[in-house]
Chain A
Amino acid sequence: MRGFTGRLRWSLAAAMLLSMLAAPGVRAAGFAAAASPSRFELEAKPGDVLSRTLDLQHIGPEGTEYVIRSADWILTEEKGLEFFDALQPGSCRPWLRLERRAVRLEPRVRRKLRFEVHVPADAPVGECRLAILVENYDQRAIPLIKDSPIQLPLTGRLGVIVYVAVGGAQPKISLVTVAMGEDNGERVPMVTVRNDGNAHGRLEGALRGTDADGKTVFFPVSTLPVLPGQTRRLPLLPAENLTTKKKPGLRYPVTLSGRLDWDNGGFDIQAQMP
């Protein structure tokens, strides 16, 4: 009996040792992380070095290791936001210097992650776009469950978007149409804009809407970015009631009027939505 117990101890010790070797310095935990700010919108001249800090916080009950790395990304109307691990043509990720590749976060303790963007002296006028990914695991650390035919670990990550407008790159946004469209299955007014500039831009503001019963509701425009060269539809979602937090009931047609601004200008809009 003593021999069996001894063998069992050695087996357990060996198993623990193997698991430590399989996951050096990394312990996987459920993903629960916050990042602030959620994105960076920076300006630089060729040759500049920009230094910034990203605040990270883990909300889970136990401290855990997070992995930090960069990725390329694109935002299209068809597929939304896509991230790419492989370096994309024209990527500016080689400009990024991360303070560290991994950081241990204790529960609810804010920790700063520094990074720099080294803009080359010969960088052309344009916009550098990249993402800093905050992940909480290393694939080696995921424990496999015995005797389960199909197992699928599920985890999360944060994509902190970084824009750097180099050499005075600017958006140039023009209005295409204002028409009804569908957003998340809901029929809403949409404004379509085009960006002919060389940096991303955003719309801001709200239109005043009057429905068929004379009710007045404001329609703030989506602040999704419009990337250079893109034509994008942006929903104008009716603002919720500040007291009840409920969306207003509207009877179409709705007359929209007002002004939407973008970085260097704006549009006066007067339109009737059927």
Chain B
Amino acid sequence: MTCRAKAFGLAVLGAVFWAPLAQAVWVGDRSAPYQARANLNMLLDVGAFIFLQVGSAGAVIDTVQFDLTGLPPASGPTATLPPFGLGTGAGVAASGAGTLTVIVRSNAGPVTLSATNNGAGAGLGNGAGGYIGYDQIRTVSDNPGLPAPVLSNAGSTAVAVAATAYSGRVTQQTANWTYSFANSVAPAAGRYTGQVTYTAAAP
């Protein structure tokens, strides 16, 4: 606790002990316009909190899906064409809902957000030894104050969520994160799954 925080704490403590003694201070008068005044000491105790919402907050976990079947073929010399559009480097948008709403709120100073995954360093797996690196999953945020952590097999570097008020103490940010598949590799056939967990903290 800093010197200022201690001084503030003592002031608040003083106010708490003083309050019962100062509760009946009434001032009135007996002539028009008959004004009366009462003093009221106030003490507000605002608890520190942190809140995170990822996705719709509905009954099921939001899942982003990519369908790599039926991709348009790439243009260029036929001999070098990636078959079926796989690995062309042309990004693939998510099939279905590919945008998630993320909300971060706190009143406890700087907030960080990081991403981890369950790939044990290998990536999204197909259950048969095939993997797709998490760096193939790209995320774009529409709010620079709440950037999306860049995914990788090793997790992510934490991003700082920009504070919005009270000189860096209060944060209220909402962003829409849009996911796409980079498609810069042609993975082995199969159905790939993984999971990403975003962690918010106010250290």
- Partner-B contacts on A (CB < 8 A): 28-39, 55, 59-62, 73, 75, 78-83, 131, 133, 135, 137, 139, 142-145, 148-161, 183-185, 202-206, 218, 220, 222-225, 237, 239-240, 245, 261-266
B65 interface neighbour in A29, A61, A143, A150, Cβ under 8 Å = A150
- Partner-A contacts on B (CB < 8 A): 1-5, 47-69, 95, 100, 103, 105-106, 108-110, 112, 114, 116, 118, 124, 132, 137, 144, 155, 157-160, 162-165, 167-169, 179, 181, 190-203
B202 CB to closest chain A CB, in angstroms? 4
Task: Check B168 against A237 for contact (C-beta < 8 Å).
Answer: yes
- 30 pairs of residues in contact across A and B, judged by CB atoms under 8 Å: A29-B58, A30-B58, A31-B53, A38-B50, A38-B201, A38-B202, A39-B108, A61-B59, A80-B112, A80-B159, A80-B160, A83-B114, A133-B199, A142-B63, A148-B67, A149-B69, A149-B192, A153-B195, A155-B195, A157-B197, A157-B199, A158-B52, A158-B199, A161-B201, A161-B203, A220-B167, A222-B109, A222-B110, A224-B109, A261-B2
Task: Check B62 against A30 for contact (C-beta < 8 Å).
Answer: yes
Contacts of A239 in B (CB 8 A): 167
Given the complex of chains A and B, what is the CA–CA distance between A151 and B96 in angstroms?
A: 11
B108 interface neighbour in A33, A37, A55, A220, Cβ under 8 Å = A37
- Given contacts A158-B50, A206-B167, A265-B3, list 15 more A-B pairs with CB under 8 A: A30-B62, A31-B52, A33-B51, A39-B48, A79-B158, A83-B199, A150-B124, A155-B55, A158-B52, A161-B203, A183-B160, A184-B144, A223-B169, A262-B2, A263-B1
Contacts of B163 in A (CB 8 A): 237
A232 CB to closest chain B CB, in angstroms? 12
A83 CB to closest chain B CB, in angstroms? 6
Given the complex of chains A and B, what is the CA–CA distance between A183 and B95 in angstroms?
A: 36
Task: Check A220 against B168 for contact (C-beta < 8 Å).
Answer: yes
Task: Check A154 against B63 for contact (C-beta < 8 Å).
Answer: yes
Indicate whether A158 sits within 8 Å of B110 (C-beta atoms), given known contacts A144-B193, A223-B168: no
Task: Check B137 against A152 for contact (C-beta < 8 Å).
Answer: yes
Indicate whether A60 sits within 8 Å of B57 (C-beta atoms), given known contacts A150-B68, A156-B52, A205-B4: yes
Contacts of B201 in A (CB 8 A): 38-39, 73, 81, 131, 158-161
Contacts of A61 in B (CB 8 A): 57-59
Task: Check A142 against B61 for contact (C-beta < 8 Å).
Answer: yes
Given the complex of chains A and B, what is the CA–CA distance between A144 and B109 in angstroms?
A: 38
Indicate whether A151 sits within 8 Å of B193 (C-beta atoms), given known contacts A35-B50, A156-B53, A204-B2: yes
Contacts of A133 in B (CB 8 A): 199
Nearest residue (CB) in B for A156 is B54
Task: Check A152 against B63 for contact (C-beta < 8 Å).
Answer: yes
Contacts of A157 in B (CB 8 A): 52, 197-200
Task: Check A156 against B199 for contact (C-beta < 8 Å).
Answer: yes
B150 CB to closest chain A CB, in angstroms? 12
B54 interface neighbour in A83, A145, A154, Cβ under 8 Å = A154
Indicate whether A154 sits within 8 Å of B168 (C-beta atoms), given known contacts A29-B58, A159-B200, A223-B109: no
A82 CB to closest chain B CB, in angstroms? 7
Task: Check A32 against B53 for contact (C-beta < 8 Å).
Answer: yes
Contacts of B144 in A (CB 8 A): 184-185
Contacts of A220 in B (CB 8 A): 167-168
Contacts of B167 in A (CB 8 A): 206, 218, 220, 237, 239-240
Given the complex of chains A and B, what is the CA–CA distance between A235 and B155 in angstroms?
A: 26
